[in-house]
Amino acid sequence: MRKIAPLLALGAFLASSAAAGAADQADRIINGRYQAILGDCVACHTKAGGQPFAGGEPLQTPFGTLVPPNITPDRETGIGNWSKDDFIRMMKTGIGHDGTRLYPAMPYTAYTKMPEKDISDLWDYLTTIEPVSNEVVANQLPFPFNIRLLMLGWNMLNFTEGAFEPDPNQSAEWNRGAYIVQGPGHCGTCHSPKSFLGADKDGEFLQGASLQGWYAPNITGNPHIGIGSWSEEELVQYLKTGTNAHTVASGPMTEAIADSTSKMTDADLKAIAVYLKSLSPEAASKPAPVGAADRRMIAGAAIYHDTCSACHGMDGKGARQLFPALAGNAIVQQPSAETLAHLVLAGSQGVGTAGAPTTPAMPSLAWRLNDQQIADVLTYIRNSWGNAAPPVAPDAIGDVRGK
């Protein structure tokens, strides 16, 4: 009996240790899955109709086409032959497991701010995904941009490796929001204007940028073209459901909401709202609206009455959570009308979320309206009901139609 007791104790200890280890591993995987949500990994690395994280969806850049790779643990076509250290180095520095330098379309410039523990947990999560055999030719850029060695110089000019540094003068909530926006959420990748080298213009952080035929709007505190008129609660509602009293999500933002922000915790959404609402707007005056007597305004008013007013109202106030208000809409008044042109030409389907499952839709009007007519009606919308924005040229519509 004296010999059995220590053996029983040892067995209990080993069982307890195994249970603790399994619980710790489960916690790491759960946290890793949440890091994938924060980083919106599935949006870029999943082709429409394809397997999650298997890559293959082309990404159009000003320099040519890049295709996000397969990041499932498949050993032949994915990251199954990578090590955890390889993965952490890639996320922190933009250098792959074989020394390949990544292009910043993979936002390592933001992911570098993530703690190594969260990246490690993300790796643990990715190793649990079903391996998918899907060969992807990622670099489809023309010469000379297809030479990855050029990224050595690009990084020297535009990239600073390092973890997020909290601001001691701000609250923990503000710092959490700043970390998500600047780090894993990589909001600046879409919403910040780019230099001629494709780097974020730090002095114009989140002030709006063109992206794959859409215009990612200004999300600073600018009251005219930003989110200055939104409350924190309205911003949280938009990120969680894809709609609020001001707008309905469209374009690439529907993917970001469906795959990322709608799955974030309420605490993180609130932190993001607190941070974004704190960003001071850039010094810019509201432009003078195009006069009502302008030929384009007169023509646009007639088109709006016949084609748009049934849903958006003659007063431009729309129908809450179904048809967005156009009056006072910051997206309507952006410097670029790319997004509006895209919506009119191709139509749009709202994102379906647990909080707003209706997915309101707008039909394509490309078959019905020519470039001049679309330019006129958008000029009218952008300069009615208190709105003010530059007029839209037919050539700008033609450019979007041709993409």
| 224 and 144 together in one domain | no
Q: What amino acid is encoded at 192 in this protein? A: S
Residue 371 included in any domain:
yes
Q: How many Å apart are CA 394 and CA 403, to the nearest integer?
A: 15
pLDDT tens-digit profile of 205-224? 999 998 888 899 999 998 88
pLDDT at 17 over 60: no
Residue 389 included in any domain:
yes
- Of 125, 158, 191, the domain-final residue: 158
| 266 and 211 together in one domain | yes
Residue 5 included in any domain:
no
Domain residues for the domain of 232 are: 172-278
Instruction: Confirm or deny that 186 is annotated as ligand binding.
Output: no
pLDDT band of residue 403 (cuts 50, 70, 90) is low
Backbone phi, then psi, for 58, in 5-degree steps? -60, 140
Q: What per-residue confidence (pLDDT) applies to 170?
A: 97
| 303 and 239 together in one domain | no
String of DSSP letters for 34-50: HHHHHTTHHHHHB-TTS
Backbone phi, then psi, for 12, in 5-degree steps? -65, -40
Instruction: Confirm or deny that 190 is annotated as ligand binding.
Output: yes
Residue 206 included in any domain:
yes
Task: Give mean pLDDT, residues 82-97.
Answer: 94
- How far is the CA of 226 from the CAs of 9, 229, 230, 238, 281, in angstroms? 64, 8, 9, 14, 8
Q: What per-residue confidence (pLDDT) applies to 58?
A: 84
| 61 and 102 together in one domain | yes
Task: Give mean pLDDT, residues 115-141.
Answer: 91
Q: What per-residue confidence (pLDDT) applies to 299?
A: 96
Helix 116-126 to helix 84-93 angle, to the nearest 10 degrees? 130
Distance of CA 239 to the CA centre of its chain: 11
Instruction: Confirm or deny that 41 is annotated as ligand binding.
Output: yes
What the block records as the tokens of 12 is: 């209990």
| 36 and 149 together in one domain | yes
Instruction: Confirm or deny that 305 is annotated as ligand binding.
Output: no
Task: Give mean pLDDT, residues 32-56.
Answer: 91
Q: How many Å apart are CA 116 and CA 166, to the nearest integer?
A: 16
| 139 and 220 together in one domain | no
Task: Give mean pLDDT, residues 139-144.
Answer: 79
| 274 and 149 together in one domain | no
pTM for the predicted model, two decimal places: 0.89
Residue 4 included in any domain:
no
By residue count, the chain amounts to 403
- Of 158, 191, 223, the domain-final residue: 158
- Of 104, 133, 158, the domain-final residue: 158
pLDDT at 295 over 60: yes
> pLDDT averaged over the chain?
88
Q: What per-residue confidence (pLDDT) applies to 337?
A: 93
| 143 and 211 together in one domain | no
pLDDT tens-digit profile of 296-351? 999 999 999 999 999 999 999 987 767 888 999 999 999 999 999 999 998 887 66
- How far is the CA of 200 from the CAs of 109, 209, 325, in angstroms? 10, 10, 31
pLDDT tens-digit profile of 270-291? 999 999 999 987 766 788 999 9
Q: What per-residue confidence (pLDDT) applies to 401?
A: 87
| 148 and 27 together in one domain | yes
**pLDDT higher at 186 or 3:** 186
What the block records as the tokens of 248 is: 């309905």
Q: What per-residue confidence (pLDDT) applies to 284?
A: 66
Q: Residue 237's domain is classified under what CATH number?
A: 1.10.760
Which segment of 156-165, 265-274, 344-353, 364-373 scores lowest on mean pLDDT? 344-353
Q: Which helix (H) or strand (E) holds 61?
A: strand 59-61
Residue 13 included in any domain:
no
Q: How many Å apart are CA 209 and CA 220, to the nearest integer?
A: 13
Distance of CA 308 to the CA centre of its chain: 28
Q: What per-residue confidence (pLDDT) applies to 9?
A: 58
| 84 and 58 together in one domain | yes
Q: How many Å apart are CA 384 and CA 300, to the nearest integer?
A: 10
* Cis amide linkage into residue 168, ω under 30° from 0: no
Number of domains in the chain: 3
pLDDT at 103 over 90: no
Q: What per-residue confidence (pLDDT) applies to 232?
A: 95
| 197 and 253 together in one domain | yes
Instruction: Confirm or deny that 311 is annotated as ligand binding.
Output: yes
| 31 and 148 together in one domain | yes
Residue 327 included in any domain:
yes
Residue 284 included in any domain:
no
